[in-house]
C-alpha cells in the first residue's frame, strides 16, 4: 500500500481531534451568596456638574460591624468614579477621622463646633484629604457632649440637617458615619439623611439588633423625615467557607429581600492593616479583593439610583 493510501485510510478511521476533546459547558450567570444573579454594575458615567448631594447615614447600634471601614472605603471608591464626596465623622471616637489620616486629639474645631456654636459653619471645619474628590468633617470626643447639650435645643433632632445646608450643594454624596448607638446623635443623622445603609456583620448576634434599628428608622420617617428610606443592608465580614456566614446572609435575604445588597464584603486582615496605615483599602491595597468589593458597592449604589 502506498504511503498516500495509508494516510487516507488513517484519516478515515481515526476521529477528528475536535470530536474527541470534551467541549466546555456554557457557563451560567454569576450568583451572589444568596443565589441571585449578580448584575454587571457598569462604571458610572462622568458627571457634568456636582450637587446637590444625597445624604446617606451609615448606621448600626452594634459596634465592630465594619461601619467606619465602609464609610471611608465607599467614599474613596465613589471619588475614584469622579463623584465629589463628603465624609462626616459623627462618632465621638473619631474613627473615620483617623481612617483618613487626621488625629482627632489635635483638632481645634470639629463637627461639634459647627453644630453647637453660633457663627461656626461646616465650611469652617471641613478639610480636604489625600484622596482627590473626598473631603472630611472630623470629630473627636467633644462630640459626646453634644448628646447632652442637644436635649435643651429647639428642634434638637434637626441640628445636623441645618449644619449640612451650607455644603450640600457642593457634593454628590455625603456619607455620615454614625456612632454605635440609637441616641440623639444618630437620630440627628437619620433626620438629615435621604437614605440609610446598614452594615451587618455576618454573625447571628448581629441580626438581633437590625429589627430595632429598622423600627427606629420607621419612627424617624413617620415623625421627622418623610423622605428617609433604607438604601440597603450590606453584609460585612463574610467568609464563604463557613456555613454560619452563609446562613446569616440567607436569613437577612429572607427577612429583607432585595434590600440586601448583591455586594458582600469579605473578612480579611487587610482592613485592619489599612486602618493602621490611615488609608481606605482602595488606596492601601488597590488590587485587593476588599478594594474590588467596595468599588463594586459604589457601582451598585449608583446603579440603584442611591448615588449620583
Cell of 21: 476533546
Over residues 14-72, the pLDDT tens digits come to: 445 444 555 555 566 788 787 788 888 888 888 889 989 999 999 998 887 889 999 99
Q: Is 28 inside any structural domain?
A: no
Question: Is pLDDT above 80 for 11?
Answer: no
How many separate domains does the chain show?
Answer: 1
Q: Is 59 inside any structural domain?
A: yes
Over residues 127-153, the pLDDT tens digits come to: 999 999 999 999 999 999 998 898 888
Q: Is 8 inside any structural domain?
A: no
d(CA 294, CA 299): 9
Q: Is 33 inside any structural domain?
A: no
DSSP state of 33: T
Three-state DSSP class for residue 66? coil
Three state DSSP letters for 185-234: HHHHHHHHCCEEEEEEECCHHHHCCHHHHHHHHHHHHHHCCCCCEEEEEE
Three-state DSSP class for residue 241? coil
d(CA 303, CA 164): 25
Terminal alpha carbon distance of the chain? 78
Cell of 2: 502506498
Q: Which among 82, 51, 52, 87 is positioned nearest to 69, based on CA atoms?
A: 87
Q: Is 264 inside any structural domain?
A: yes
DSSP string, 105-174: GG-S--HHHHHHSTT--HHHH-EE-SSTTEEEE---TTHHHHHHHGGGSTTGGGHHHHHHTTTGGG-SEE
Reply yes or no: is the peptide bond before residue 52 cis, omega within 30 of 0. yes
d(CA 9, CA 160): 87
Over residues 208-250, the pLDDT tens digits come to: 788 889 989 999 999 999 999 999 999 998 888 888 888 888 9
Q: Is 114 inside any structural domain?
A: yes
How far is C-alpha 170 from the chain's CA centre? 20
Tell me the CATH number at 220: 3.40.50.300
What does pTM read for this prediction?
A: 0.88
d(CA 249, CA 246): 5
d(CA 267, CA 290): 8
> Strand 229-238 vs strand 260-266: parallel, antiparallel, or unpaired?
parallel
d(CA 86, CA 79): 10
Structural domain span for residue 118: 49-304
Question: Is pLDDT above 90 for 305?
Answer: no
d(CA 158, CA 155): 6
d(CA 272, CA 118): 38
In degrees and rounded to multiples of 5, residue 57 shows phi and psi of: -95, 130
> What is the per-residue pLDDT for 33?
82
In degrees and rounded to multiples of 5, residue 3 shows phi and psi of: -65, -35
Residue 15: other Cβ atoms inside 10 A: 7
Amino acid at each position: 500500500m502506498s504511503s498516500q493510501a495509508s494516510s487516507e485510510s488513517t484519516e478515515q478511521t481515526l476521529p477528528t481531534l475536535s470530536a474527541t476533546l470534551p467541549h466546555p459547558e456554557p457557563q451560567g450567570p454569576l450568583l451572589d451568596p444568596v443565589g441571585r444573579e449578580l448584575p454587571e454594575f457598569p462604571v458610572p458615567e462622568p458627571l457634568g456638574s456636582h450637587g446637590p448631594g444625597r445624604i446617606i447615614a451609615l448606621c448600626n447600634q452594634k459596634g465592630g460591624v465594619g461601619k467606619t471601614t465602609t464609610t471611608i472605603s465607599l467614599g474613596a471608591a465613589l471619588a475614584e468614579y469622579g463623584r465629589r464626596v463628603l465624609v462626616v465623622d459623627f462618632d465621638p471616637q473619631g474613627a473615620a477621622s483617623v481612617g483618613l489620616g487626621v488625629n482627632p486629639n489635635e483638632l481645634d474645631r470639629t463637627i461639634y463646633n459647627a453644630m453647637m456654636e453660633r457663627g461656626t459653619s461646616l465650611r469652617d471645619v471641613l478639610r480636604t484629604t489625600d484622596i482627590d474628590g473626598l473631603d472630611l468633617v472630623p470629630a473627636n470626643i467633644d462630640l459626646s457632649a453634644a448628646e447632652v447639650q442637644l436635649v435643651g435645643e429647639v428642634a434638637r433632632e434637626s441640628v445636623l440637617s441645618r449644619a449640612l445646608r451650607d455644603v450640600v450643594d457642593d457634593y454628590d454624596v455625603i456619607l455620615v458615619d454614625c456612632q454605635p448607638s440609637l441616641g440623639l446623635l444618630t437620630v440627628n443623622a437619620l433626620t438629615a439623611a435621604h437614605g440609610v445603609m446598614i452594615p451587618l456583620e455576618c454573625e447571628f448576634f448581629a441580626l438581633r439588633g437590625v429589627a430595632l434599628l429598622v423600627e427606629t428608622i420607621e419612627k424617624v420617617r413617620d415623625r421627622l423625615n418623610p423622605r428617609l428610606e433604607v438604601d440597603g443592608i450590606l453584609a460585612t465580614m463574610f467568609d464563604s467557607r463557613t456555613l454560619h456566614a452563609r446562613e446569616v446572609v440567607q436569613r437577612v435575604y429572607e427577612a429583607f429581600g432585595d434590600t440586601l445588597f448583591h455586594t458582600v464584603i469579605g473578612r480579611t486582615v487587610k482592613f485592619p492593616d489599612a486602618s493602621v496605615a490611615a488609608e481606605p483599602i482602595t488606596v492601601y491595597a488597590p488590587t485587593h479583593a476588599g478594594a474590588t468589593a467596595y468599588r463594586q458597592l459604589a457601582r451598585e449604589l449608583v446603579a440603584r439610583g442611591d448615588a449620583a
